[in-house]
Structure 1
Amino acid sequence: MRTDVILLRFGEIMLKGRNRARFENQIVQQIKRVLKPLAKAELHKESHGRMYVELNGESYEEAQQALSKVFGLLSISPAIKVAPELAALQEAALVEMNRYPEKPKTFKVSVRRVNKQFPHDTYEMHDLLGGHILQHVDGLKVDVKHPELELHVEIRNRDSFVYSKKVAGPGGFPLGSNGKAMLMLSGGIDSPVAGYLAMKRGLRIEAVHFHSYPYTSERAKQKVIDLTRVLADYAGSIHLHLVPFTEIQTKLKESCRDNLIITLMRRAMYRITEQLAEKRDALAIVTGESLGQVASQTLSNMNVIGRAAEIPVLRPLVTMDKLEIIPIAETIRTFPISILPYEDCCTLFVPKSPSTNPSLKVVERQEAWMEWLPEAIREAVEKTEIMLIKPEEKSEEDHLF
């Protein structure tokens, strides 16, 4: 099956006006990163925003898999590249029509003629290519409204492209084009999906995980490292901040009202994450909260907890339920890791009847009584370990800072 090049299409970045060049440069960097293992593949950029990858013998399947990790890429097409000459285009059209084991019964030809010096206009090319195909492929009919296969032909100045297939990309914005945020990453299903969706909107993320050793195991820690590694497949690398939270949790258990433990714990987490964000030049916090899913995610609790942070708190999953979240987790390959039965600190000391409608004044009064809390938060930030996680299999490249 012949594939010379892969045509690339971009979504929202094409609407960015004066910032478009910046967005294009960022997506070029990401494309080159994911294609680095395919040494012979080359990225080409033409006028009018067209980019394509010349495979030069590299595997199309491997290139497609790599490009599926590039945010901002709307779709790709495996294509045949030929000279802008009628005979070459007719031959390529036949090759493309014979690409499929099950032959279509109907087709149409769509021509885009960028090269205005080409001797045949668009309408002539429809007839010249469509007629050539009908002469050489049995059992075909033209259907311009609902064809089983649409053959696309782009005639440009130096080259022409023939293709019939579009493969969806992840869409969104190029990674890092909208700044940096801190992802509060638990070991559950939701927060990795929130991280993926945040990256899709152009955020570069750093992950923050709270652990309560010895109440949580090394396996729980490894589970979060593995989740970060999957997300790093889309980013090249991600810094993971491992925050010791045992002391704060145990003191909260000893000194505050039982039904407010979850609310106070989450507020402490927000404050720690915000301080880490300031150190890492991040401008927001990303969480996996979904409205009404658990006691701490009622609107009242979200309001009280969210006020602990002064920077924006982004909740990509806030209106989604598990039936919508799980398919995304399966697609990005975090789901099998997320369901491993290793508890994180959020499952510890959970009261039987947590408050679903806490009073902000009561919560703030409770915190004012806990004179130890600011120092405990400062110590947790100071003792936080940072790991650089890369997408490769566990190796020496994962290391502490």
Structure 2
Amino acid sequence: MARLRPAVIVHYHEISLKRGNRPLFLRQLARNLERAVSDLGPVRLRQLTGRILLDLDGNEHPEAVRDRAARVCGVASVALAWRVASTIEAMKAAVAQIVDGRRFPSFRISARRAFKTYPMTSVELNRELGAFVLERIGHDATRVDLHHADLDVHLEVLPAETFVYVQPTPGPGGLPVGASGTVAALLSGGIDSPVAAWRMMKRGCRVLFVHFHSVPYLPATSQAKARALVERLTEWQYRSQLMLVPLGEIQREVVLTVPPPLRVVVYRRMMVRIAQVLARQSGVLALATGESV
């Protein structure tokens, strides 16, 4: 019986296209992954060809590690995998433990070789392991379906070991947070500004949040909402700063001196000018808003 050891396989796509800056982006992605799972027990990170391995030997929270990794910008997909030797016998044993006890009307085997000197081609591996599943489960219980399979068993064959998994979890994609500098996001209580901030994270920007409120002239509801939004968005960059800026006195002065049709424009202009000063004080060179979302 093959010894199954757990691991999380992290795939990235866009980073692979960044030829000149790829090492920089990979180092940033590795740092972000380590930060994301730092409180979940022992996790050893290792970079492999075209993927990152999170070794979970001794870890008691493999599903939590997978879910955290799936929220790291720059990650295309993650999967909780089993590590076995790169022999056909070990692969069959791993596949057997995956399919035993499951009910699936159709299935497919998706094997990929990370090195082309393996004695069997990907097609041959698919056929060999597919025939093994049919023989083990029974031709009456399941069938092969290459297009709409109920169960898709993935195998990634490397020289030293093979990773076997099902149901990869999609990630946000894009670039790792911190690879493209920092922006200051003007955060309102609506949906547009947090979406804009999240999209900036996907482009590799760390986001500093700025929220304008009208306390004591209005209740502190907007502050609580801003804190809740930042708490949710922090799941994608794992460290955030929220600046709460009182705007009540400025609004009061605008009401006294500016005609009603122009007040909203003046409010927005003042918020942008204040955010610009705060951004410069924090070393931030760009502002992000939700107007164009």
TM-score normalised by structure 1 residue count = 0.67
Alignment root-mean-square deviation, CA: 2.0
Q: Give 1:36's aligned residue.
A: 38
Q: Deviations over 1:230-263 (max 9, x none)?
A: 2222222222222222222111111111110111
Q: Deviations over 1:179-202 (max 9, x none)?
A: 211111123333222222221221
- Which residues of 2 match residues 196-275 of structure 1 at below 5 A? 196-275=198-277
Could you tell me which amino acid in structure 2 is paired with residue 21 of structure 1? P
Could you tell me which amino acid in structure 2 is paired with residue 217 of structure 1? P
What is the deviation of 1:132?
1.8
What SS does structure 2 have at the residue aligned with 1:131?
helix
Aligned mates of 2:107, 2:131 — CA distance in 1: 12
Could you tell me which amino acid in structure 2 is paired with residue 137 of structure 1? I
What SS does structure 2 have at the residue aligned with 1:233?
helix
Could you tell me which amino acid in structure 1 is paired with residue 43 of structure 2? A
What is the deviation of 1:219?
4.3
Compared with structure 1, are the counterparts of its residues 246 and 144 closer, same or farther at alpha carbon in structure 2 (3 Å cutoff)?
A: closer
What SS does structure 2 have at the residue aligned with 1:267?
helix
Stretch deviating more after TM superposition (137-146 or 260-269): 137-146
Q: Deviations over 1:281-325 (max 9, x none)?
A: 222211122xxxxxxxxxxxxxxxxxxxxxxxxx4x1xxxxxxxx
1:124 has 2:130 as partner: no
Q: Give 1:113's aligned residue.
A: 113
Could you tell me which amino acid in structure 2 is paired with residue 128 of structure 1? E
Aligned mates of 1:110, 1:154 — CA distance in 2: 9
Aligned mates of 1:83, 1:12 — CA distance in 2: 30
Aligned mates of 1:270, 1:63 — CA distance in 2: 39
What SS does structure 2 have at the residue aligned with 1:95?
helix
1:15 has 2:22 as partner: no
Could you tell me which amino acid in structure 1 is paired with residue 113 of structure 2? R
Match of 2:285 among 269, 283, 308: 283
Q: Deviations over 1:4-30 (max 9, x none)?
A: 112111121111111111111111111
1:49 has 2:69 as partner: no
Instruction: Note if contact 2:66-2:79 (Cα within 8 Å) is conserved in structure 1.
Output: no
Q: Deviations over 1:335-385 (max 9, x none)?
A: xxxxxxxxxxxxxxxxxxxxxxxxxxxxxxxxxxxxxxxxxxxxxxxxxxx
- Which residues of 2 match residues 1-400 of structure 1 at below 5 A? 4-46=6-48, 48-56=49-57, 57-98=59-100, 101=102, 103-138=103-138, 139-289=141-291, 315=292, 317=293
Aligned mates of 1:241, 1:123 — CA distance in 2: 56
Aligned mates of 1:176, 1:115 — CA distance in 2: 32
Compared with structure 1, are the counterparts of its residues 228 and 113 closer, same or farther at alpha carbon in structure 2 (3 Å cutoff)?
A: closer
Aligned mates of 2:114, 2:230 — CA distance in 1: 44
Which segments of 5 or more consecutive residues in structure 2 lack a partner in the other structure?
none
Instruction: Note if contact 2:5-2:84 (Cα within 8 Å) is conserved in structure 1.
Output: no
Instruction: Note if contact 2:214-2:247 (Cα within 8 Å) is conserved in structure 1.
Output: yes
Stretch deviating more after TM superposition (193-202 or 120-129): 120-129
Q: How many residue pairs were aligned?
A: 287
Compared with structure 1, are the counterparts of its residues 3 and 148 closer, same or farther at alpha carbon in structure 2 (3 Å cutoff)?
A: farther
- Ranked by relative contact order (alpha carbons within 8 Å, sequence separation 6 or more), the top structure is 2
What is the deviation of 1:116?
4.0
Instruction: Note if contact 2:192-2:290 (Cα within 8 Å) is conserved in structure 1.
Output: yes
Percent identical pairs in the alignment equals: 33
Aligned mates of 1:190, 1:55 — CA distance in 2: 38
What is the deviation of 1:97?
2.1
Compared with structure 1, are the counterparts of its residues 260 and 20 closer, same or farther at alpha carbon in structure 2 (3 Å cutoff)?
A: same
Q: Deviations over 1:99-137 (max 9, x none)?
A: 7x4x22222323222344433343432332222222211
Q: Which has the larger radius of gyration?
A: 1
Aligned mates of 1:120, 1:258 — CA distance in 2: 76
Instruction: Note if contact 2:83-2:161 (Cα within 8 Å) is conserved in structure 1.
Output: yes
Which segments of 5 or more consecutive residues in structure 1 lack a partner in the other structure?
290-314, 318-401
What is the deviation of 1:43?
1.7
Instruction: Note if contact 1:3-1:78 (Cα within 8 Å) is conserved in structure 2.
Output: no
Aligned mates of 1:213, 1:144 — CA distance in 2: 60
Compared with structure 1, are the counterparts of its residues 168 and 122 closer, same or farther at alpha carbon in structure 2 (3 Å cutoff)?
A: closer
